[in-house]
A = this chain, B = another copy of it.
Amino acid sequence: MPLINKQVTLAARPKGFPKESDFKVVQAPVPEPGAGQILVRMLYISVDPYMRGRMNDVKSYTPALQIGEVMGAGAVGEVVDSKNARFQVGDVVEGFFGWQQYTISAGEGVRKLDPSVAAVSTALGVLGMPGLTAYFGFLDVGKPRSGETVVVSGAAGAVGSLVGQIAKISGCRAVGIAGSDAKCAWLTGELGFDSAFNYKTASDYGAKLSELCPEGVDIYFDNVGGAITDAVFATLNSGARIVVCGQIAQYNAEKPEIGPRLLWHLIVKRARAEGFLVFDYASRYAEGLRQLAMWINAGKLKYHEQVVDGIENTPRAFIGMLRGENTGKQLVRVG
């Protein structure tokens, strides 16, 4: 067993968009599991938009990261030593293990994976936090009805790409907004979205939305915020629901962003905008995972993983994800 545990820590709080120099790859000894603990060797590490918020020194739903602290993250790894009766050496597990090659854990919040059911990497994507976010956010917060029109921003991302497909499964019309023509072609050609447009080349979002949503928008699943969201608000139907999942367009702003005031739309349209965190659905994760797996097996839910190799490349993969360079779920494979 190697003695060195490579870790990626927060080196500096980013000003605006994170740079690779805001992170530092450090080496620590591989920890020794104590009584009741397991030692996990990482296989896949997740990079997710929410991590950007934790890099700021701001109170939020999770505490801010401290300078020098290992970046927190969901990850999948193999149990290589166990002093916990629940886990055997060789078990593949998912947990909040961080951007590092090894970690010890008491097993709390650690999920054992069955590699015969699905590739273990999916525990960080379609059969993990992003999948559950799409499932509960769209169905529980969005409350779709058959025949409704659903618009998804960040539609080619880990969550958005699933939301549009769950919208189709629910009998809705699904319209995606994404950042390249290739992504849009993937959404409509592979995933079954009814239509999609590239916000980087569209000159008038409002006109594009009117063209693609001639009957207006009933559900807006928002991963992005900003000018895209401003345009969608103007197209909402009476009784519309805005599922506020993410606002990635603002996460790297150096000062609070301003934009047109939107709340009056909610009155005129009797609409509801609701934020949610997937963690609040923890008691129903089993239900969500079961349904997502059934849809995958039935060929109704497709997913894509984009994989970068090497723990050292985790910051670059994270920054690329924030720039929208990924299609589907961005992962780091740890050698």
Contact = CB atoms under 8 A, between A and B. Distances in A.
Given A256-B260, A262-B263, A61 B268 contact: yes
A247 interface: yes
Interface string A62-93: 00000000000000000000000000000000
Nearest to A275: B266
Interface in A219-273: 222, 225-226, 229, 238, 242, 244-247, 250, 256-273
Contacts of A250: 261, 264
B277 A270 contact: yes
A96 interface: no
A4 to B, nearest CB: 37
Contacts of A238: 61
A60 interface: yes
Nearest to A258: B258
Please classify the interface of chain A as helix (H, G, I), strand (E, B), loop, or mixed, using the class held by over half of its residues.
Answer: mixed
A204 interface: no
A257 B222 CA distance: 22
- What is the size category of the interface that chain A forms with chain B? 35 or more
A276 interface: yes
A267 B260 contact: no
Nearest to A245: B267
A181 interface: no
A187 B268 CA distance: 29
Contacts of A271: 274-275
Contacts of A222: 263
Nearest to A241: B274
A280 interface: yes
Contact of A264 (B225, B264, B269, B276): B225
Contacts of A245: 267
Contact of A257 (B246, B247, B261, B274): B261
Contacts of A256: 260-261
A264 to B, nearest CB: 4
Contacts of A258: 258-261
Given A261-B247, A261-B256, A274 B272 contact: yes
A226 B260 CA distance: 11
A213 B270 CA distance: 28
A62 to B, nearest CB: 10
Contacts of A225: 261, 263-264
Given A273-B273, A274-B274, 16 more contacts: A61-B268, A222-B263, A229-B263, A244-B266, A244-B267, A246-B267, A247-B264, A247-B267, A258-B258, A258-B260, A259-B259, A262-B262, A263-B275, A265-B275, A266-B273, A270-B276
